[in-house]
Amino acid sequence: MGSTARGAGSSGASHPMAVNETVIAMLRPEPNMAKLADDPAEVRAAAQAAVDAPAGIGTIASYWTEVPLPAAGTWNAPGKGGAQADIVLTAPQDRVPLLFMEVDNCHETAEELADKLEKYARFLRRKVKDTDGRERPMWRTRWTAPATWSGDRTHPPVLLVFNRLGDRNPNRTVPRLIEFTRHLWEGQRQKGGHHHYDGKIPIIATGLRNLRQHGPTGPVFLRFGRTHMQPLREAIGNPRREAADARAREEARLAQEKYKARTARGTGGGGEEGGRA
């Protein structure tokens, strides 16, 4: 992009520019080193660093921008009360089956962001009849995401990306936003120390500057309700729940094997008694 276009974009279209930069920071496209053979050494060094850095998520076809999420109406003619995702990412090959993304240039208040997340919740709770005549969440008629083994129905995650352009400091906005939206994301703690998030939305926050520098594999994502930064895949996931599910599956498998062994011994014993009679 030339300097004139970049200047126009920065001053007149700052939000679309930030959305584009977010996609690039998530995607982390690799430069073609062959085309940089005649460039200065510092340019080639920076390009090589980008090549050597951890890969991003998905391909350019994995990202959609300005996607309506209707709480009423249809996909093509959405009614009032719904949201519009700045970015929708679908990259199941990279273990991110569905992620909604909102980019804020730090102009919006915590109250305004909370209202936007309420609209997400309204959309995610909406159910419609699918082509097979069965009622299911509307979002599942367009996208897919796996259910957990134990059956809780966690909504798709929402990632908030803060671009430090406006006057509002995300370090002050995010704590207030966490409290305003607690009913949307807070799970139920279980005996094993993990949480169930049935009907809840995983909400994650990061800064565009950190995202540019570290990419989606860097520990720069804060999930609401957690106290430490994580890579994106860990932040949108529930590793403690996954470990508990794995233990439950193993216990169920062992119990089934013991039951089969007892049944086999009982059947064999009956045969021996009958032979002696």
One-character DSSP codes across 189-251: E-TTS-EE-TT---EEEEEHHHHHHH-TTSS-BEETT-SS-B-HHHHHS-HHHHHHHHHHHHH
Q: What pLDDT was estimated at residue 260?
A: 85
Judged against a pLDDT cut of 50, whether residue 1 lies above it is answered with no
Same domain as 171, residue 156: yes
Distance CA 54, CA 39 (A): 24
- Pick the more confident residue, 2 or 76: 76
In a domain, 3, yes or no: no
In a domain, 262, yes or no: yes
Reported as a single tens digit per residue, the pLDDT across 24-67 is 999 998 878 888 888 888 878 877 877 777 889 999 999 999 99
Judged against a pLDDT cut of 70, whether residue 8 lies above it is answered with no
Same domain as 140, residue 90: yes
Is residue 5 classed exposed, middle or buried when 0-12, 13-18 and 19+ CB atoms within 10 A define those classes?
exposed
Distance CA 224, CA 256 (A): 38
Q: Cα-flanking dihedrals φ and ψ of residue 127, to 5°?
A: -120, 145
Same domain as 252, residue 153: no
Positive or negative torsion for Cα 262, 266, 269, 271? negative
Q: What pLDDT was estimated at residue 119?
A: 97
Q: Which of 16-25, 116-125, 247-256 has the lowest mean pLDDT?
A: 247-256
Distance CA 90, CA 75 (A): 18
Range of the domain at 270: 243-277
pLDDT band at 90 (very low <50, low <70, confident <90, very high): very high
Same domain as 216, residue 85: yes
Distance CA 172, CA 152 (A): 32
pLDDT band at 269 (very low <50, low <70, confident <90, very high): low
In a domain, 277, yes or no: yes
Same domain as 193, residue 253: no
Same domain as 219, residue 276: no
Same domain as 126, residue 93: yes
Mean pLDDT, the chain, integer: 85
- Pick the more confident residue, 53 or 214: 214
Same domain as 108, residue 92: yes
- Pick the more confident residue, 239 or 42: 42
Q: What pLDDT was estimated at residue 33?
A: 84
Q: What pLDDT was estimated at residue 274?
A: 47
In a domain, 254, yes or no: yes
